[in-house]
Amino acid sequence: MNSLLSILTGIRFDNPWWLLLLPLAVGGSVAYRLLWRKNRPGVLFPSVLALRSAGFAALSLFSKFPEWLHWLVLVLIVLALSGPRAPFPPSTRDTVGIDIMIALDVSASMNTPDFGGKSRFTGARDAAMRFIDNRPADRIGLVVFSGGSFTRCPLTLDHEVLERLSETLSPGFLDEPGTAIGTAILTATNRLKASPSKEKALVLITDGENNAGEVTPETAARLAANYGIRVYTVLASRESGLFDSGKKADLNLKGRSELETVARISGGRMFTAGDMFGLMKSFRDIDRLEKTRLKGRMPARTMELYPGLLMAAVLLLITEQALSATRFIRIP
C-alpha cells in the first residue's frame, strides 16, 4: 500500500498545461446541459409504460452510463496529452542471458555401469540434459574431454541441436586416453571468454583425477576466474557416493581434492554423486544456485503512463459507442 501511495504521489507531468482542458471540459458540459440539451427536439409518446414494457426501460442509476464513459474518455485523453510519468522504486528482478558450457568426461572409465544399470557417462549425460531443459533462456554449449578436449557444440539457444549432438557421444569418443581436466577447462574458457554475457558458468562432470594434458586444473581454474567464469565440478562415481554416506573411504581422494580446488578458485562449488539420484540433485543444486545468483536489484526508474491511458481511452470509447447504439440508445 505504501509503495502504491509513493507511486501516486510521485507522478509528474511533462506538459501540465494540457490539464487546463479539464475545467474547460466541465464548463462546456454545464453549458451543454443548460443551453442546448434543454431545448433539443424529441419524440412524444402517448404512454411511457408501453416503451418500458417493450424493453426500453433503464435503471435511473445506469441511464447516464454512456455519458459517463464519454467524459471519462475525454479525461483520459487530456491526462495522456499532459505526459504523466510515474516513479517506481528499486525492485528485485531475474536477469537473463547467462552463458553455460558443460564439460563432459568421455574417457573409458565413464563406461562403468554403477548408476543403477546405467554407465557413469549415460547418467551424467541424462542429468545434464534435464539441467538444460530447465534453462530455456540461456545459451548452453558442450565440451567433451578425455586425454584431450573438443567443443562438440558452441554456445547456442537451440537446445534441441545440443541434445541431438550429445546423443551421438559415448565413452571413447576421443581417441586420446586419460582425463585432461585442465585442458577441458581451458577449452570451455576460450568459448566463454568471448561471450558478451556478464554471467558465465562452466559445469564439469568427471569420474577421475587429472592425469593428462599440459595444464593443471588449478592453473586453468585461475584463468577461468580471471574471465569471471564460475566452475561447478561434479565427481560422478560410486566411490564418491560411498564417501559421502560414510560406508568407506573415497577411492579417489586426489581427484576430489582437485575438483574442490577448481571450484573454490573460480567461485563455484564442488558436488559428488554416487548414483542417479545424486547426479540429479547435483544439477538441481547448480540450477538453483545460478538462478538465485541472477536475482538482482532493479534501480529506481520512471515509466511513461500515456500509452496505457490512450489504450484505456480507446477501449472505453468503443464501449460507449456500442452501448449507445444498443441497450442505452436514445431517440433522438
Whether residue 206 lies inside any domain: the answer is: yes
Residues 6 or more apart whose CB falls under 8 angstroms from that of 60 comprise none
| Whether 59 and 198 share a structural domain | no
CATH code of the domain in which 154 resides: 3.40.50.410
Of residues 297 and 7, more confidence is placed in 7
* Shared domain check, 52 and 148: no
329 belongs to a structural domain: no
Are both 174 and 226 inside the same structural domain? yes
For the chain, how many structural domains are there in total?
Answer: 2
- Asked if 236 and 267 count as a contact pair (C-beta separation under 8 A), the reply is no
Task: Give me the domain span that covers residue 41.
Answer: 2-89+300-324
Residues 115 and 199 placed together within one structural domain of the fold? yes
Q: Give residues with Cβ within 8 angstroms of 224, minimum separation 6.
A: 185, 188, 189, 192, 202, 230, 231, 266
**Residue in the block written with cell 451543454:** 32
Q: Has this prediction a pTM greater than 0.85?
A: no
Provide the pLDDT for residue 142: 95
Query: Any idea what DSSP says for residue 171?
Result: T
- Residue 216 inside a domain? The answer is yes
Would 252 be classed as within a structural domain?
A: yes
Q: Flag the least confident range among 43-52, 156-165, 172-181, 316-325.
A: 43-52
Domain match, 233 and 197 both:
yes
pLDDT score recorded for residue 246: 43
| 131 in the same domain as 21 | no
Q: Which has the minimum average pLDDT: 136-140, 147-151, 276-280, 327-331?
A: 327-331
In a shared domain, residues 51 and 63: yes
Q: pLDDT of 17-51, one tens digit each?
A: 888 888 877 777 667 666 655 555 555 555 555 55
Q: What's the pLDDT at 113?
A: 84
What is the per-residue pLDDT across 242-266, written as a single tens digit (0 to 9) for each?
444 444 444 467 778 899 999 999 9
Residues 188 and 110 reside in one and the same domain: yes
Residues 291 and 316 reside in one and the same domain = no
- Structural domain includes residue 41: yes
What pLDDT, on the 0 to 100 scale, is given for residue 8?
67
Yes or no: say if 212 and 247 are a contact pair by the CB < 8 Å rule.
no
Least confident of 5-9, 84-88, 107-111, 151-155: 5-9
Asked if residue 14 has pLDDT above 50, the reply is yes
Angle between helices 21-31 and 65-81 (to 10 degrees): 150
pLDDT at 189 over 90: yes
In this predicted model, what pLDDT tens digit does every residue of 84-108 receive, in sequence order?
Answer: 888 766 555 444 568 899 999 999 9
- Mean local confidence (pLDDT), 122-149: 90
Whether residue 330 is contained in a domain is answered as no
In a domain, 331, yes or no: no
Say if residue 65 is in the same domain as residue 143: no
DSSP for 236-285, please give it. Answer: ESHHHHHHHHTSS--S-HHHHHHHHHHHHHHT--EEEESSHHHHHHHHHH
Same domain, 308 and 246: no
| 3-class secondary-structure state, position 154 | strand
* Residue closest to 119 by CA, chosen among 131, 133, 108, 103: 108
Lowest pLDDT segment from 147-156, 183-192, 196-205: 196-205
Written as nine digits, the cell of 13 is 507531468
Region for residue 12 given its phi and psi (left: phi exceeds 0; alpha: psi -120 to 50; beta: otherwise): beta
**Residues 222 and 241 both lie in one domain:** yes
